[in-house]
Homo-oligomer: A and B are copies of this chain.
Amino acid sequence: MMDQNGARELLQAVADGRTSVEQALLKFRQAPFEDMGFAKPDYHRALRQGMGEVIYGAGKTTEQIRQIAGAMLARGQRPVLITRMDAAAAVEVEKTLPLRYDALSRIGVIGDMPEPDGAGVITVVTGGTSDMPVAEEAALTAEAFGNRVERIYDVGVAGLHRLLGHTDAIMTARAVIAVAGMEGALASVVGGLAGCPVIAVPTSVGYGASFGGLSALLAMLNSCAVGVSVVNIDNGFGAACIASMINHI
């Protein structure tokens, strides 16, 4: 594989007359679609989007998490975010790294949270208290990406006055993350109040015909309110990424 140095050397060889134009052209042609050092590594792209690197903890061993986190710290990454991390893994990682672990969202953070540098506020709204783990995954992720976050929890649509008491926070947000399980109606009601994009996160909260979040997912996809788009069930992290993008435009 020809990396950036290889490309430079090849061009130098052309400049020096050591390689003919046609030979150089052939070598470039033989590398179609290949990573010639030009392609930005993923973390470059992530940073360009205003988002630091994140370790998806689910399915990783404690040792794997520790190694990846160590490498990221060595590269200067601050903070290091670890999502979907078991409490047991957190206990282990804390032994050697300055991890702060949030049991509710199952997020671990190493290093200080950044100062908010987004243009506005991201408002995270939940239908019930059971949706809070997903909401906190969104909120902490958004904060780690440099966003100011306002939390409005347990304002399900069956008790509208609770939600309506927070109309201002919804109307003035730069982006709203609406987190709800069961019937997922929160997304539509919030979408009707908000003037900004609403990222809806269905949760697997519920039982019976909630079918692990499918009901909330379908309801949110069918929202009659404009401005509502949907991410995967329980995907608080993904919603925060989008909201952060919008807040950093």
Q: From residue A30, how far is it (CB to closest CB) to chain B in Å?
A: 8
By the criterion CB–CB under 8 Å, are A211 and B216 in contact?
no
Q: From residue A50, how far is it (CB to closest CB) to chain B in Å?
A: 9
A interface residue count range (under 10 / 10 to 19 / 20 to 34 / 35 or more): 35 or more
Q: From residue A181, how far is it (CB to closest CB) to chain B in Å?
A: 8
Task: Chain B residues near A76: list those with CB within 8 A.
Answer: none
By the criterion CB–CB under 8 Å, are B209 and A204 in contact?
no
Chain A stretch 2-16: residues in CB contact (< 8 A) with chain B: 4, 7-8, 11-12, 14-15
By the criterion CB–CB under 8 Å, are A35 and B207 in contact?
no
Q: Does A70 contact B (CB under 8 A)?
A: no
Chain A 211-222 per-residue mask, 1 if CB under 8 angstroms from chain B, else 0: 111111111111
Chain A 134-175 per-residue mask, 1 if CB under 8 angstroms from chain B, else 0: 000000000000000000000011111110110110000010
Chain A stretch 105-123: residues in CB contact (< 8 A) with chain B: 119
By the criterion CB–CB under 8 Å, are A158 and B219 in contact?
no
CA distance A182 to B232 in the complex (A): 10
- Which of the residues B158, B195, B207 comes within 8 Å of A232, measured between beta carbons? B207
- Which of the residues B4, B14, B216, B233 comes within 8 Å of A14, measured between beta carbons? B14
By the criterion CB–CB under 8 Å, are B28 and A36 in contact?
yes
Task: Chain B residues near A168: list those with CB within 8 A.
Answer: 1, 34
By the criterion CB–CB under 8 Å, are A221 and B214 in contact?
no
